[in-house]
Structure 1
Amino acid sequence: KDPLDYGVGAQILHHLAVHRIILMTNHPMKRIGIEGYDLNIVGNHAFSTKV
């Protein structure tokens, strides 16, 4: 289970009337956690970071 809670961010986006987003993540499974908040994910942008 993902320890992150997307609820607060989803509520903010809802308040701002944002319904369609491009998800920035390297983990496609995070879509499931966000789509549950009635956000339409129209794309996925993977990124890399140097450690």
Structure 2
Amino acid sequence: MAIWSDVETKTGRGHQPKPWQARPFAGLLVGWGFFAFVLAAILATI
């Protein structure tokens, strides 16, 4: 978390919106796609 707080203090001056905040649907799609991929890999190995 120390690295994350360091990044936050550097970008806090301009306070630019983060990519996943600007496009929350894209981040959600990537997250669920990764979850589905892991789930499929687990089911394939059973």
Largest Rg, 1 or 2: 2
More helix by share: 2
Q: TM-score, normalization: structure 2?
A: 0.33
Q: TM-score, normalization: structure 1?
A: 0.31
More strand by share: 1
